[in-house]
Structure 1
Amino acid sequence: MSEHKKEEEAAIASFRRWLDGFNARDVNKQINEMHFPHHRLAGSKLNSWKTAKEWADGNDKINQKLYAEGWHHTSLVSLDVVQSNQNKVHVTVRMSRRRKDETEYNGFDSLWIFTKVDGIWGAKLRSSYLSGSAQLEGTKKEN
């Protein structure tokens, strides 16, 4: 960690709460750790959600896709802060989608960008290398 240790710890805590919400399939816990509009670059496609409601509306579909592929939970394999200042923290993570028996069926890397808005830390943007797996698509897509 750098001179912005407090900010980095806040961003990491926000990520961990988001992941807890993702694994619990609790959309409100996820939303509490996000800033909107929220953006996700998956491959070369940029997905955007203008509002928390847009994010929430897509979750039933992603739940069905996750369970259909045998998903039980997603584990955090590694997390590193790569850049930070007082209002923004870049975090790289290695994630592992797992079945109930703990076997990994999809591992991937992502870059998450957390920002501090009105004193609250949340994910604003992420870039993921997840492929061939259940993913939530935004209401606005750009190739």
Structure 2
Amino acid sequence: MESEGTKAVRTFIDSFNKQDHEAHANSLNYPHVRLANGKYMTVESAEQFARMSEKNNPRLLAEGWHHTEINSIKVIHSGDDKEHIALTMDRINAEGTVYNRFDTFWVATRQDDHWGIQFRSSFLS
């Protein structure tokens, strides 16, 4: 049986691949924190995240992105309201070639009965 945290991960990836910015923003819990390239970024609201996600689309297309797949997923720790999840992600171009594989660590939380991703730390370059 799939955990609530991994369901939240799949919702995040599905909405990212569809570039459905509102659904993508709703796959998170807030404040949402991301650690990448040695910098922390905090997003306070779904509206702010949706705007940022939409602005990111041209950069994704410029790098040749077509979609992202979960290569591996493992729940490291699990509780009633939080899960630590280790992932390996593949960014794939239109020809179906993986052009960027990276490891990432996410924390899914339950807030007001909504499971969402609240923290991401990635080695995405």
Percent of pairs with identical residues: 38
Specify the alignment match of 2:36 in structure 1.
Answer: 42
Counterpart in the other structure of 1:134: none
Whether 2:110 is the aligned partner of 1:124: answer no
TM-score normalised by structure 2 residue count: 0.95
- In structure 2, the partner of 1:109 is 103
Mark the runs of 5 or more structure 1 residues left unpaired by the alignment: 132-143
The superposition leaves residues 19-48 of structure 1 with CA deviations (integer Å, 9 ceiling, x where unpaired) of 000000011121221011100000210011
Q: Distance in 1 between matches of 2:111 and 2:50?
A: 21
Counterpart pick for 1:65 among 55, 59, 65: 59
Is 2:21–2:54's contact at 8 Å kept on the other side of the alignment? no
TM-score, normalization by structure 1: 0.83
Higher Cα Rg: structure 1 or 2? 1
After TM superposition, the structure 1 = structure 2 runs for residues 74-113 of structure 1, keeping only pairs within 5 Å, are 74-113=68-107
CA drift of 1:120 comes to: 1.3
Cα distance in 2 between the residues matched to 1:55 and 1:32: 9
Amino acid at match of 2:18: A
In the alignment, the residues of structure 2 paired with residue 54 and residue 121 of structure 1 have an alpha-carbon distance, to the nearest angstrom, of 19
Which stretches in structure 2 are left out of the alignment for 5+ residues?
Answer: none
Root-mean-square deviation (CA, aligned residues, Å) is 1.2
1:22-81, Cα deviation, whole Å (9 max, x unpaired): 000011121221011100000210011111111111123210000011100001100000
Query: Partners in 2 of 1:60 and 1:127 — Cα distance?
Result: 21
What SS class does the counterpart of residue 94 from structure 2 fall into?
A: coil
Amino acid at match of 2:93: R
Q: What count of residue pairs does the alignment treat as equivalent?
A: 125
Distance 1:48 1:107 in 2: 24
User: Structure 2: how far apart are the matches of 1:56 and 1:29?
Assistant: 8
Shift of 1:119: 1.3
Amino acid at match of 2:63: E
